[in-house]
């Protein structure tokens, strides 16, 4: 999650030069949709508001579907749209099989789903297995120890009582958003566990009834025709039943304090062995549907873990598959705007070298929990990062707005709504708040960027929407992030991308990171500069199989030296301006 583990950078960036080669696929089979399609993440509160309440909704999304079709985006993951008191903006669910009224109704959902199917778009639901809202009917029944609901949540007696007679929490566990993971319940006279905010009580996966209940909820959506799930925060599904105190994290961020999640090493609350078994169970259900009608469904999992070795088991095994792919957050966690080409190269190499045979790697550089590309790697890196992740072998995720290069908005303490920011208080909220990257989509130069007609939107629209918006980037006669993005999307559909080999390396003393993708002598070469100076790359010498001339396929917006798209250049001396990037095709 946010700001995590930058201190582990060392672990990955010790290698000074880097290169990897993967052969072209000798036996090309059509890729599955979740391997080839761009997966586009919608944060529904911020996508499009249709009823003027300042919050996005399902009808709004439906009205914008052509945006995806125009960009060649094949699948859409929507962050939670279930009934929710919105303490964590939808990740606190009070009914897993109904739609939050702010977003619409089940009929609106069906209409959206039909409209997507008509356009050939896949729909991925965000599924939140670890917790419900404290307003879920199950939780109320559990408080009152009613029948089978008694152990639906993780209830625990106090460790003892302090001098004033206050109950002492069973362990020192700290939740993700700051403060104790235990909340006292007066009625039940016990603590309950919450690994996120206190209004998100953890479901008890030690109780098989809970698993049944969640599978039934997934079934509901599979029957409604969804194509897959993004499984939220699965690393927190189980806790060590001894409820022992967790130790201080030796690698904690320098500015962390004991109420911060990252202050502690979560050996008893994160990534417990049974997590994988649960994922296998979820996957089995999904595969039943795929087998029944031959239509591929997909399960992607979210877990921020310390090492790749810990994450790889989330793929499961051949006999017992788990995730189709676990999200790969390494480019977010281990790289930032001051990282050099070698850091990127090493992260990328490591995945291809260590991934299980036949497994699909996933690439992403942003989401609703992390700062935006332009704000994290620098605005001059927006096109370069999109190029870098979209053309590597593997699945790819785009966070809404990254196709036009939206940047984080500055949000005052008064406007802060994210519980993580709110919990941290006015002095520290900006270290944690996820509001800056969740602001409304910038569709046009109109008021509220065409997102809403409300007087006030739930988070402020970025003031730069007057210039930076979809309409402007579509209609300009010049270059734009959107036009670059569309070209990348087109390139993913070529044989070179689908079946091509990969040769990836740093060149020019680690100033350039580049890779070629070639299938039967046709393909393309990407070069991204991490240098502060103009450099000249001798691509014919550095990479195998590059012809002496190639066509400029795309560059970043404002590429230097000025080079026309479609022009022919000599590949033995490709000049790339500071921090710029180029793709040539042959
Ligand atoms: C995941 C989500 C995050 C949410 C948390 C609790 O990490 O991405 O937004 O707050 O889970 O559900
Ligand atoms: Mg849990």
Instruction: Give the ligand 1 atom nearest the CA of 420.
Output: 10
* 269 pLDDT more than 70: yes
Please tell me the number of the ligand nearest to residue 270's CA.
2
Single pTM value for the model: 0.96
* 365 pLDDT more than 90: yes
Protein residue with its CA nearest to atom 12 in ligand 1: 91
Does 361 contact ligand 1 (Cβ within 6 A)? no
Q: Which is it for strands 182-185 and 167-168: parallel, antiparallel or unpaired?
A: unpaired
Protein residue with its CA nearest to atom 3 in ligand 1: 369
How far from 224 is each of 92, 97, 109, 112, CA to CA, in Å? Answer: 22, 10, 9, 11
* 182 pLDDT more than 90: yes
- Interval 125-164: pLDDT, tens: 999 999 999 999 999 999 999 999 999 999 999 999 999 9
- Ligand 1 centroid–CA 558 distance in Å is 36
- Ligand 2 centroid–CA 25 distance in Å is 41
% residues pLDDT > 90 (the chain): 96
* 4 pLDDT more than 90: no
Does 368 contact ligand 1 (Cβ within 6 A)? yes
| pLDDT score recorded for residue 211 | 98
Residue 471, both tokens: 């309409």
Does 91 contact ligand 1 (Cβ within 6 A)? yes
| pLDDT score recorded for residue 18 | 72
Does 88 contact ligand 1 (Cβ within 6 A)? yes
- Interval 67-88: pLDDT, tens: 999 999 999 999 999 999 999 9
| pLDDT score recorded for residue 17 | 58
Protein residue with its CA nearest to atom 4 in ligand 1: 91
Return the CATH superfamily for domain 131-202+240-267: Oligo-1,6-glucosidase; Domain 2 (3.90.400.10)
**100, 302, 306, 383: which one is catalytic?**
302
Confidence of residue 467 (pLDDT cuts 50, 70, 90): very high
Q: What whole-number distance in Å separates Cα of residue 423 and Cα of residue 434?
A: 12
Does 82 contact ligand 1 (Cβ within 6 A)? no
| pLDDT score recorded for residue 26 | 87
- Ligand 2 centroid–CA 275 distance in Å is 10
Q: Is 251 a known active-site residue?
A: no
Q: What whole-number distance in Å separates Cα of residue 567 and Cα of residue 576?
A: 15
**Arithmetic mean of pLDDT, 329-337:** 97
Please tell me the number of the ligand nearest to residue 43's CA.
1
* 13 pLDDT more than 80: no
| pLDDT score recorded for residue 27 | 86
**88, 108, 126, 232: which one is catalytic?**
232
Classified as helix, coil or strand, 210 is helix
Classified as helix, coil or strand, 126 is strand
Does 202 contact ligand 1 (Cβ within 6 A)? no
**Arithmetic mean of pLDDT, 533-544:** 98
- Ligand 2 centroid–CA 93 distance in Å is 15
Q: What whole-number distance in Å separates Cα of residue 535 and Cα of residue 531?
A: 8
Q: Which fold has domain 493-585?
A: Immunoglobulin-like (2.60.40)
% residues pLDDT > 70 (the chain): 97
Q: Which residues contact 187 (CB under 8 A, 6 or more apart)?
A: 143, 144
Residue 354, both tokens: 């260590």
Please tell me the number of the ligand nearest to residue 203's CA.
2
Confidence of residue 237 (pLDDT cuts 50, 70, 90): very high
Does 108 contact ligand 1 (Cβ within 6 A)? no
> Domain spans of the chain?
5-9+36-130+208-239+268-475, 131-202+240-267, 493-585
* 12 pLDDT more than 50: no
Q: Which of the listed CATH numbers 3.40.50.720, 3.90.1150.10, 3.20.20.80, 3.40.50.920 matches domain 5-9+36-130+208-239+268-475?
A: 3.20.20.80
């Amino acid at each position: 999650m946010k700001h995590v583990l930058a201190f582990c950078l060392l672990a990955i960036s010790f290698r000074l030069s880097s290169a990897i080669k993967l052969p072209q696929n000798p036996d090309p089979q059509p890729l599955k949709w979740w391997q080839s399609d761009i997966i586009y993440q919608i944060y529904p509160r911020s996508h499009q508001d249709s009823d003027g309440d300042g919050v996005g909704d399902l009808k709004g999304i439906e009205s914008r579907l052509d945006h995806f079709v125009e960009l060649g985006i094949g699948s859409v993951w929507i962050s939670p749209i279930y009934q929710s008191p919105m303490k964590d903006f939808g990740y606190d669910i009070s009914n897993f099989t109904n739609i939050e009224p702010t977003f619409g109704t089940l009929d609106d959902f069906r209409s959206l789903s039909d409209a997507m199917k008509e356009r050939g778009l896949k729909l991925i639901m965000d599924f939140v297995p670890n917790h419900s809202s404290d307003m879920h009917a199950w939780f109320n029944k559990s408080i009152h120890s009613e029948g089978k609901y008694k152990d639906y949540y993780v209830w625990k007696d106090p460790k003892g009582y302090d001098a004033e007679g206050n109950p002492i929490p069973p362990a020192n566990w700290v939740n993700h958003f700051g403060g104790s993971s235990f909340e006292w319940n007066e009625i039940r006279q016990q603590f309950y566990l919450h690994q996120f905010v206190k209004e998100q009580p953890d479901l008890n996966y030690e109780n098989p009834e809970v698993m049944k209940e969640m599978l039934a909820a997934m079934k509901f959506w599979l029957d409604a025709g969804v194509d897959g799930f993004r499984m939220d925060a699965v690393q927190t599904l189980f806790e060590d039943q001894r409820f022992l105190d967790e130790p201080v994290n030796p690698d904690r961020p320098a500015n962390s304090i004991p109420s911060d999640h990252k202050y502690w090493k979560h050996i008893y609350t994160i990534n417990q062995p049974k997590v994988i078994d649960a994922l296998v169970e979820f996957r089995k259900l999904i595969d039943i549907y795929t087998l029944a009608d031959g239509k591929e469904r997909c399960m992607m999992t979210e877990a921020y873990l310390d090492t790749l070795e810990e994450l790889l088991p989330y793929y499961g095994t051949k006999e017992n598959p788990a995730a189709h792919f676990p999200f790969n957050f390494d480019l977010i966690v281990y790289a930032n705007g001051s990282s050099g080409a070698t850091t990127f190269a090493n992260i990328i190499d490591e995945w291809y070298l260590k991934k299980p045979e036949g497994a699909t790697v996933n690439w992403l550089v942003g989401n609703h929990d992390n700062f935006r590309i332009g704000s994290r790697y620098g605005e001059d890196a927006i096109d370069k990062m999109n190029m870098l992740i979209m053309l590597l072998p593997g699945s790819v995720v785009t966070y809404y707005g990254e196709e036009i290069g939206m940047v984080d908005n500055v949000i005052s303490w008064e406007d802060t709504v994210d519980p993580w920011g709110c919990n941290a208080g006015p002095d520290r909220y900006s270290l944690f708040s996820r509001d800056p990257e969740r602001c409304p989509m910038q569709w046009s130069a109109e008021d509220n960027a065409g997102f809403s007609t409300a007087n006030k939107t739930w988070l402020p629209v970025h003031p730069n929407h007057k210039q930076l918006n979809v309409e402007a980037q579509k209609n300009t006669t010049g270059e734009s992030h959107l036009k670059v993005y569309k070209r990348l999307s087109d390139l993913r559909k070529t044989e070179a991308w689908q079946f091509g080999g990969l040769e990836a390396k740093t060149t020019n003393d680690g100033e350039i990171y580049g890779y070629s993708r070639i299938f039967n002598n046709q393909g393309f070469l990407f070069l991204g500069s991490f240098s502060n100076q103009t450099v000249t790359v001798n691509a014919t010498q550095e990479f195998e199989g590059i012809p002496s001339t190639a066509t400029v396929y795309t560059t970043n917006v404002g590429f230097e030296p000025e080079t026309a798209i479609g022009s022919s250049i000599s590949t033995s001396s490709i000049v790339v301006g500071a921090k710029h990037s180029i793709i040539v095709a042959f």
